[in-house]
Amino acid sequence: MKSLAPLLLVVHAQSRITRLDWAVIAVYFSILLCVAWWVVRRGKDSAADYFLAGRNLSWWIIGASIFASNIGSEHVVGLAGAGATSGVALAHYELHAWCLLVLGWVFVPFYMRSMVFTMPEFLEKRFSTNSRYVLSVVSLVTFIVSKIAVGIFAGGVVFGALLPELRVNLGGIEIDSFWIGSVLVIALTGLYTVLGGMRAVAYNDAVQVLVLIVGSASLTFYGLHHLGGWSELRHWCGSDMFNLWKPLIPAGVQGTWAPVLETNAAGHVVKQAWYFNDNFPWLGMLFCAPIIGLWYWCTDQYIVQRALGAPNETIARRGSIFASFLKLAPVYLFIVPGMVCLALARSGKIPELARMLGPDGRAIPAIAQGSFPMLVEYLLPPGLRGLVVAGLLSALMGSLAGVFNACSTLFTVDLYQKWKPDATQHELVRMGRLATTVMVFIAFAWIPVIKNAQGLYGYLQAVQGYLAPPIFVVFFLGVFFKRMNAKGALWSMLVGFVLGIFRMVVDTPVTLGLPGFQKGYPRGSFLWIVNNIYFQYFSVLITLVSAIVMVAVSYATSEPKYAAIKNLTFETTTAEDKVSSRASWDWREVSASALVILCILGAYLYFRG
């Protein structure tokens, strides 16, 4: 996925949103407000109710909320654009649905037994208070510089596409639809998030997922119907765009193992040997992508907070399994429409789409980014078009609401409550609302930075690739090995985060094209080497260094007090809790999990060209 900025240019010229479409969108927002009002009236003035919905969410609400938090509008549009340019290549990320099974079967038992509000709180129970502080601060920074700001930016792009001519003059300063849209998204999403907390977020997520799936499925159906069916899609796209395996075959197998370095006009390395569909190296996808996936789905507050809202281990596990089913859907709801758009352009069945093709018949990336909105514009009838636009907005709002709630929980529970341990439940809820508001305003300052970045998706992947490895290492080694101690965990995170932040500091001037850095660092210098190591490889390096530091420091220092970490690792789980955990699942959970794995394997077997 590249930057969403071209999307604004693609659909700026025409806007076919009719009154009927606006009526559908208005009905959608009315339903959201009604749900939010109902939830707010049911809410209680307590931290458990505000941050974890009273630990009383049902499994289908948990699963829907996890999915809604993951799928933002930039995700929808970006995947469709990737489908038009590289076929099913990015399905690898969506097929990481198995990571949610790891959450449900491996981590949920520990999280539910510990009764924590946040992931840093779990680290404190397992290791130390210092570990909790470090993870809290890093998580908040990560949310601000990536998830919140990117979501707001995506909202501005979507509104800019819907209302390209909207302008407001404030004191001689003209504000366009991009910034108006950003403010409106914040106002609407922030309103129900601030007032209703986790319960409002989760219940609205359930509504939003339904709208998103129905709307996107209708786009896929209409596109295939207009094209002439799945066989026509394969014909016009070609077998190469249906191949998930080719990107995982190193170029050396086909004739050469010599490294291939291509540079751009500025002298930066833009391609190395063994690349994944001209975008990602196969080694990085094989080793780095699962690390990022397991960190995100199993240890990130943004996702796991939904499972923490379950009343017991059974419901939390079922919610995670249901989310894994939903996670398989983007391949067919977002990537396939992008491929349909390309096929319709090549076949000439929608002449207006021909502008997305280059002289070689391949999609022009900058224009292909608008595949999803172009299909909405030229393919769907009035009314249904409004439903799909509502789905786009719901994806955006669900993602933003989730991160707002996660931020307020982290700040209030991990920092404020530590500073003021005698705070009342009312004070905690009030601070959570205030924290959400402050985070939003801080995020606004990052929008220009992201807007000027080389690529939105690349930006997200790089930030996560640099900051996620030490968190992944500490959680996984901490749960699987009781010998890992507090000093090992702390030093692992500190060293890992320093490496990640160092790489971000090196990359930022070049990424933004700051004065003196337009051509990058002097070729061959140490900083040039650091800047040109592919982010996935650097991420794997951080993971290895963090693991080595954690193991080495843990074994060089005293053992942890095993009584203090009872039920927080596999080796210290009591027999009674093992029996209780075993009683929390039966053949239904096992069968559903097996079906998810079979669906993933089926996708890999089918998408092989």
Does residue 248 have a pLDDT over 80? no
Answer yes or no: is 479 within a domain: no
Amino acid making up residue 152: I
Q: With pLDDT > 70 as the criterion, what percentage of the chain qualifies?
A: 81
Residue 589 DSSP SS3? helix
Does residue 12 have a pLDDT over 50? no
- Range from 20-29, 275-284, 511-520, 588-597 that averages highest in pLDDT: 588-597
CA distance 95 to 89: 11
Closest CA to 370 of 342, 343, 398, 405: 342
Answer yes or no: is 428 within a domain: yes
Strands (E), 214-359: 262-263, 269-271, 275-276, 280-281
pLDDT bracket for residue 255 (50, 70, 90): very low
Closest CA to 53 of 589, 427, 421, 432: 432
Choose the weakest-confidence range: 153-167, 223-237, 403-417.
Answer: 153-167
Residue 455 φ/ψ region, left for φ over 0, alpha for ψ in the -120 to 50 degree band, beta for the rest: beta
Residue written as token pair 């799909």: 388
- Range from 101-105, 217-221, 509-513, 528-532 that averages highest in pLDDT: 101-105
Residues 166-187 have a mean pLDDT of 66
Does residue 206 have a pLDDT over 90? no
Residues 37-57 have a mean pLDDT of 80
Burial class (CB in 10 A: 0-12, 13-18, 19+), 541: middle
91-133 pLDDT tens trace: 888 888 999 999 999 999 999 999 999 999 999 999 999 999 9
Tell me what pLDDT residue 389 has: 80
Answer yes or no: is 191 within a domain: yes
Answer yes or no: is 404 within a domain: yes
CA distance 584 to 597: 21
Does residue 168 have a pLDDT over 90? no
Choose the weakest-confidence range: 13-17, 236-240, 504-508.
Answer: 13-17
Answer yes or no: is 431 within a domain: yes
- The domain total for the chain is 1
Q: Domain containing 156 — which CATH number?
A: 1.20.1730.10
Answer yes or no: is 592 within a domain: yes
Does residue 261 have a pLDDT over 60? no
Q: Which tops the pLDDT comparison, 549 or 450?
A: 549
Dump the DSSP string for 263-282: E-TTS-EEE-SSEETTTEEH
pLDDT bracket for residue 299 (50, 70, 90): very high
CA distance 436 to 416: 13
Burial class (CB in 10 A: 0-12, 13-18, 19+), 484: buried
Q: What is the mean pLDDT of the chain?
A: 81
Tell me what pLDDT residue 268 has: 38
Q: Which domain holds residue 421?
A: 5-33+56-245+274-451+574-606
CA distance 534 to 268: 11
Closest CA to 585 of 312, 299, 326, 328: 312
Closest CA to 510 of 499, 501, 518, 498: 518
Tell me what pLDDT residue 103 has: 96
| Dihedral over Cα of 408, 413, 417, 423: its sign | positive
**What are 280's strand-pairing partners?**
276
Copy the structure tokens of residue 336. 């396939």
pLDDT bracket for residue 249 (50, 70, 90): very low
CA distance 543 to 442: 30
Answer yes or no: is 343 within a domain: yes
CA distance 563 to 433: 37
Tell me what pLDDT residue 165 has: 59
Does residue 270 have a pLDDT over 70? no
Tell me what pLDDT residue 3 has: 39
Tell me what pLDDT residue 592 has: 96
Find out whether 507 and 496 touch, Cβ atoms under 8 Å.
no
Answer yes or no: is 177 within a domain: yes
434-472 pLDDT tens trace: 888 887 777 666 666 555 544 455 556 677 788 889 999
